Structure 1
Amino acid sequence: MSVQSELEQAEAAASALAEGRVVVMPRGRKGEPVEVPASVVRVLAEVLDHARRGEPVRVIADDEEITTQQAADLLNVSRPYLVGLVDRGEIPSRKVGTRRRLKLSDVLLYREVDQARRLEAVNALAAEAQELGLY
């Protein structure tokens, strides 16, 4: 049996997940095999994809709260800009003392909607440029 690098292990596991099904065998062969739910298999596939590219991975729950700085980093904006989004009600938050906390799921939803809005604007500009014969 050859020793595989972490990258090779991630690639092999990702290939195995292509089938979309994972069964866990209990240790010592006692007990019945357990099938991993499809939602967890999708997360595992995403984690392995990042690992295969050599990217660090951290799995956290969607309802985990993050700081304004973490949210700003996630959105690739400055913290003051993010605070403005929160103040305008574009991203919900709650106060813990004098600090704001945001749900990760709310920040990810904002990012998804913002990206869709940007793509729509780019498509509209491209269509206008084509109509004007600039493209």
Structure 2
Amino acid sequence: MARSSVLAHAERVEPNPSHRGALAATARMAPDQVEVVVRTEDGRELSLPVELVRVLLASAGELARGHAVTVLASEVQLSPAEAAELLGLSRPFVARLLDAGDIPSTNLPGSSHRVVGLADVLAFQQRRERRREGRRQIADALDEPGLPY
């Protein structure tokens, strides 16, 4: 039986430009200094736990910057094609990264098909961004006037 796409069922929220100011102000709040209360139709109120407040504030920051937000649990298992889609890379390139061990993967029982943890994909992306930033800083240093070379 074919596996349904994890990304197809993920909650995706697009930013509304008219809310940018309120979102930015919300994102500047400290999670431990905010209480978020939800009121139901019948008037009951529920105070949200700090973990959920942290998610809301982080999401507000991304939306304020004009980025869409997709909600997925870190423990979600992705296909190599889904990992490639999230990373903005081709599936064959991601397959080579999996083969090389740059992104950990697990074979499904009794199959040659692999799955990749979302947390591992995000960790790879962070390492990739740090390397890119380091190369940019080196290039900027080499462009500084008066550098002997």
So what's the TM-score if we normalise by structure 1?
0.72
Question: Quick check: 1:95–1:101 contact (8 Å CA) kept in 2?
Answer: yes
Which runs of no fewer than 5 residues in structure 1 stay unpaired? Answer: 1-5
| Structure-1 residue corresponding to 2:11 | none
Change beyond 3 A, Cα 1:132–1:75: farther
Question: Quick check: 2:26–2:57 contact (8 Å CA) kept in 1?
Answer: no
Deviations 1:31-58 (A, max 9, x none): x753421x32221123344556776543
RMSD: 2.9
- Choose between structure 1 and 2 for higher RCO, CA contacts under 8 A separated by at least 6 residues: 2
* Separation in 2, partners of 1:53, 1:116: 20
| Structure-1 residue corresponding to 2:90 | 78
Q: Which 4+ runs in 1 deviate beyond 2 A?
A: 6-20, 22-30, 32-36, 45-58
1:122 aligns with 2:136: yes
**Matched residues, number:** 126
Kindly report which structure 2 residues correspond to 1:86-101, keeping only aligned pairs within 5 A, or say none. Answer: 86-96=98-108, 97-101=111-115
Kindly report which structure 2 residues correspond to 1:1-135, keeping only aligned pairs within 5 A, or say none. Answer: 7=16, 12=22, 15-16=25-26, 18-20=28-30, 21-25=34-38, 27=40, 28=42, 33-37=46-50, 39-51=51-63, 56-96=68-108, 97-130=111-144, 131-132=147-148
What SS is found at the alignment partner of 2:114? strand
Which has the greater radius of gyration? 1
Deviations 1:107-132 (A, max 9, x none): 00000011101111121122123225
Question: Quick check: 2:76–2:117 contact (8 Å CA) kept in 1?
Answer: yes
Identity between Structure 1 and Structure 2 (%): 28
Q: CA deviation at 1:14?
A: 6.0
- Once the two structures are overlaid, the 10-residue window that deviates more, 83-92 or 20-29, is 20-29
Question: Quick check: 1:11–1:48 contact (8 Å CA) kept in 2?
Answer: no
So what's the TM-score if we normalise by structure 2?
0.66
* Separation in 2, partners of 1:16, 1:90: 36
